[in-house]
Copies of this chain bind each other. A is one copy, B any other.
């Protein structure tokens, strides 16, 4: 469930564009109003506001925001204002450039096949080349093989599972992990091509047959970046909510890593941030809102809390 709260009735896109324009005028920017509008509109409404603003004032709303607001607040609004597909194309481009394997794995494994495809189409339109070629030319070795395979696949989205295959592929995975052959082609093949339903059956079978979960079995080598990447793949496929909760918790504990906090809140607020919040609060016996409040400040803090439904 989303945490995003949209008022009812919601103002028209033209009214919102006019409200934002007023917030930009005069001495300084009225950030409270900017948050009041943008953090309480869904993706379709934000797009309409951008179009209405451009139509009314012959000015790009995103460019105007860049000159009006600053720092962490600006970065968070800049991520948020796009619709999920366009936002992911932008995040993918930055991640490919920086070799940020975690983000590449997230969007390739959390999205459905058709959502991932939409991101790749948006990538073509925006950057005039493909995501695959950027990742392939900007990463090397085992990471390149894994990431290109994950981004390139068009997984079957159905629920049918083949139990015999789950058994045989759990065995293949276990043998490779036991031999510490983490970069084994079979590991990459299985994780990158099988449907999510099939993979979950394989992971369950792994635990049943070998008495340990596959992620725990991989943890013994936690200093290896590639092994860490495999764990991210498995966790994103098994439960995106648990994955994002753990990521967020780590970011909050780790001096409040703002890039990660922003990414999780902005990308999940319209999807499943309520579940993520719930898991966090059960696990830590603390309020997520309170934790965010402690680690952030100013308009950035207010904006994140608004996304959290405050």
Binding site for B on A (CB under 8 A): 117, 120-121, 124, 128-133, 136-137, 144-145, 148-149, 152-158, 160, 185, 189, 192-195, 198
**Interface pairs A-B: 5 shortest CB-CB:** A152-B152, A133-B193, A130-B156, A132-B193, A136-B189
**Contact: A189 with B137, CB < 8 Å?**
yes
Within 8 Å CB of A157, what residues of B? 124
A145 to B186, CA, bound (A): 11
State how many angstroms separate the Cβ of A93 from the closest Cβ of chain B.
13
Measured CB to CB, the closest approach of chain B to A139, in angstroms, equals 10
Contact A154 B120 (CB under 8 A): yes
Residues of B with C-beta under 8 A to A145: 185
Residue of B nearest to A160 (CB): B128
Kindly provide the distance from the CB of A85 to the nearest chain B CB, expressed in whole angstroms.
14
For the complex, give the distance between the alpha carbons of A120 and B189 in Å: 17
A152 CB contact (under 8 Å) in B128, B153, B185: B153
Q: From known contacts A129-B156, A156-B124, A158-B124, infer whether A193 and B136 are also in contact, taking CB-CB under 8 Å.
A: yes
Q: Which of A148, A154, A189 has the most B CB atoms < 10 Å from its CB?
A: A154
A136 to B156, CA, bound (A): 14
Within 8 Å by CB of A132, from B117, B136, B154, B160, lies B154
- Give Cα A156 to B120, complex, Å: 9
CB distance from A119 to the nearest CB of B (A): 10
Q: How far is the CB of A115 from chain B (nearest CB, A)?
A: 13
Q: List 21 A-B contacts (CB under 8 A).
A: A117-B117, A120-B154, A124-B154, A128-B160, A129-B156, A129-B158, A129-B160, A129-B195, A130-B153, A130-B155, A130-B195, A131-B154, A132-B152, A132-B154, A132-B192, A133-B193, A136-B189, A136-B193, A137-B193, A148-B189, A152-B152
